[in-house]
């Protein structure tokens, strides 16, 4: 069954107060207990056109969900029939510049991807862009950061891709020009190669806009889980090592950036949740703010529960939203949304436009009764309706030496911290 949405939806942005950084006296609130889609980790998340978006992160479908901040409603939608759309994928990321998102990479049927797409949130249209050149390595869960700079011929946006997994840990750095749809190789990260790093953009009060890449999972000789921090200058094309993170080393969390004072001045970086230095959950969902002016960190109130592995996040106005991920303590993938007020103001409504979209019915949309009616395609399991080809889950195994499961597909997939890569029949650490 297909449903036609109205072409104009009422949403809200937040009016900005004069704040120097995030409020440290706010509290987290669960906005959505279950957004309706299949629970997942590594979702593609971003905000654009006044909405929050959750895409992909599950097998066999590139599903699309849109969050409305004023109502707290999450709606499943799709592009028009026949329109281009990325293939389904897991371990992929996306970022937005204004009302356009850029996304790509990840895993599809165990194979690393190098494709690159933009999504126009106003017109609900995907366009395939230039893929990462063959000189670069196809990869999953890399760092992905956008910055604006002026190299002498006017301001221009660039997107940087670094690190990730692809035939081992990576540290190479690639620059994508939004204006020319071209890729250029830049100097590699000076620290150890790694996968699942944290990353964000940040801007000094004087206007310099930088890329930051940090933390993540390196090889054992470098300490495995690390807390080093690096800054890349898109004008001088150079890396600088910053002070180490003052908290516990970590991997596989989420991150975002935020400018206050009406979008003028310092842009702060934020890291949220993830695994700790033993690649297990931390006791709290730690939340930290980075001030690029003085290279310092401030701890903010943690999100509810223990920390979550591989969640997603987005920011709409004054509110940060955390969604999805995997709760190692409960051995459970998530599909809720919790929110934190970054500044102390109330939202003011605006009316962004949105082209009509189609909402298809899939197994995740059905209740128990309708799920059983569609038993050829769907299976009711653990309180939700799932596609039969994707009804399994992690079993909470604790064998972390993943390479011992090379060529042992079933054992690898049953091991909590391991990931089966079809190419080469390898079992690698997440």
244-294: per-residue pLDDT in tens? 999 999 999 999 999 998 778 999 999 999 999 999 999 999 999 999 999
- Please tell me the predicted confidence (pLDDT) of residue 247: 98
Give me the phi and psi of 403, to 5 degrees please: -65, -20
CA distance 117 to 122: 16
Identify which of 208, 169, 210, 176 has the alpha carbon closest to the alpha carbon of residue 192.
169
Q: Which CATH class is domain 2-358?
A: mainly beta
- Please tell me the predicted confidence (pLDDT) of residue 345: 55
CA distance 143 to 156: 20
Average pLDDT, stretch 215-228? Answer: 95
- Please tell me the predicted confidence (pLDDT) of residue 352: 53
Asked if the model's pLDDT at residue 19 lies above 90, the reply is no
Q: Specify the DSSP element, H or E, that contains 414.
A: helix 409-414
Find out whether 80 and 49 touch, Cβ atoms under 8 Å.
Answer: no
Length of the chain: 430
Q: Which residue has the higher pLDDT, 332 or 387?
A: 332
CA angle 263, 56, 166 (to 5 degrees): 95
What does the mean pLDDT of the chain come to?
87
Find out whether 384 and 335 touch, Cβ atoms under 8 Å.
Answer: no
Q: Considering the chain, what percentage of its residues have pLDDT values greater than 90?
A: 71
- Please tell me the predicted confidence (pLDDT) of residue 413: 72
Give me the phi and psi of 281, to 5 degrees please: -70, 150
21-42: per-residue pLDDT in tens? 787 768 999 999 999 999 999 9
- pTM of the full structure: 0.81
Q: How far is CA 187 from CA 131, 173, 215, 233, in A?
A: 19, 6, 19, 11
Q: Show the tokens assigned to 353.
A: 């436009």
Asked if the model's pLDDT at residue 353 lies above 60, the reply is no
CA distance 344 to 330: 33
**Residue 332 CB contacts under 8 Å (≥ 6 apart), including other chains:** 39, 326
Identify which of 12, 20, 14, 15 has the alpha carbon closest to the alpha carbon of residue 260.
20
CA distance 343 to 104: 31
Domain locations along the chain? 2-358, 368-429
Q: Specify the DSSP element, H or E, that contains 145.
A: strand 143-150
Using CB atoms within 10 Å of the CB of residue 205, give its burial: 0 to 12 exposed, 13 to 18 middle, 19+ buried: middle
Q: Is the Cα dihedral 381, 314, 104, 290 positive or negative?
A: negative
Give me the phi and psi of 62, to 5 degrees please: -100, 85
CA distance 225 to 331: 21
Q: Show the tokens assigned to 338.
A: 């919790």
* Lowest mean pLDDT across 85-94, 248-257, 336-345, 381-390: 381-390
**Residue 89 CB contacts under 8 Å (≥ 6 apart), including other chains:** 56, 62, 106, 107, 108, 113
Q: How far is CA 182 from CA 155, 244, 369, in A?
A: 17, 33, 50
Asked if the model's pLDDT at residue 347 lies above 80, the reply is no
Using CB atoms within 10 Å of the CB of residue 222, give its burial: 0 to 12 exposed, 13 to 18 middle, 19+ buried: middle
pLDDT confidence tier of residue 359, bands split at 50, 70 and 90: low
DSSP 8-state assignment for residue 396? -
Give me the phi and psi of 275, to 5 degrees please: -85, 155
Asked if the model's pLDDT at residue 398 lies above 60, the reply is no
């Amino acid at each position: 069954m297909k449903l036609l949405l109205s072409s104009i939806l009422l949403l809200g942005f937040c009016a900005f107060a004069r704040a120097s950084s995030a409020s440290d006296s706010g509290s987290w609130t669960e906005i959505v207990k279950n957004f309706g889609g299949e629970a997942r980790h590594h979702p593609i998340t971003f905000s654009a056109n006044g909405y929050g978006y959750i895409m992909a992160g599950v097998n066999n479908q590139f599903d699309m969900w849109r969050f409305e901040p004023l109502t707290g409603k999450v709606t499943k939608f799709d592009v028009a029939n026949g329109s281009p759309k990325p293939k389904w994928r897991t371990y992929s990321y996306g970022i937005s510049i204004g009302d356009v998102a850029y996304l790509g990479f990840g895993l599809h049927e165990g194979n690393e991807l190098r494709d690159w797409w933009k999504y126009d949130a106003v017109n609900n249209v995907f366009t395939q862009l230039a893929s990462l050149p063959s000189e670069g390595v196809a990869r999953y869960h890399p760092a992905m950061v956008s910055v604006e700079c002026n190299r002498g011929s006017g301001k221009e946006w660039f997107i940087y891709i670094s690190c990730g997994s692809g035939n081992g840990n990576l540290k190479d750095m690639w620059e994508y020009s939004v204006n020319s749809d071209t890729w250029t190789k830049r100097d590699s990260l000076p620290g150890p190669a790694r996968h699942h790093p944290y990353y964000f953009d940040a801007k000094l009060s004087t206007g310099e806009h930088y890329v930051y890449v940090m933390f993540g999972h390196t090889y054992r000789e470098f300490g495995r889980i690390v807390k080093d921090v690096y800054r890349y200058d898109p004008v001088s094309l150079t890396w600088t090592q910053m002070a180490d993170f003052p908290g516990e080393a970590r991997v596989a969390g989420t991150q975002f950036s935020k400018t206050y004072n009406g979008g003028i001045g310092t842009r702060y970086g934020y890291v949220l949740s993830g695994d700790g230095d033993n690649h297990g959950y931390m006791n709290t969902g730690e939340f930290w703010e980075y001030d690029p002016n003085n290279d310092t960190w401030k701890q903010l109130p943690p999100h509810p529960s223990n920390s979550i592995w591989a969640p997603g996040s987005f920011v709409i106005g004054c509110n940060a939203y955390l969604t999805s991920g995997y709760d190692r303590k409960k051995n459970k993938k998530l599909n809720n949304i919790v929110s934190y007020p970054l500044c102390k103001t109330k939202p003011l409504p605006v009316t962004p436009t949105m082209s009509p979209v189609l909402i298809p019915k899939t197994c995740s949309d059905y209740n128990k009764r309708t799920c059983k009616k569609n038993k050829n395609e769907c299976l009711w399991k653990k309180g939700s309706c799932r596609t039969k080809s994707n009804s399994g889950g992690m079993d909470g195994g604790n064998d972390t030496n993943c390479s011992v499961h090379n060529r042992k597909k079933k054992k690898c997939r049953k091991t909590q911290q391991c990931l089966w890569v079809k190419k080469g029949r390898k079992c690698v650490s997440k």
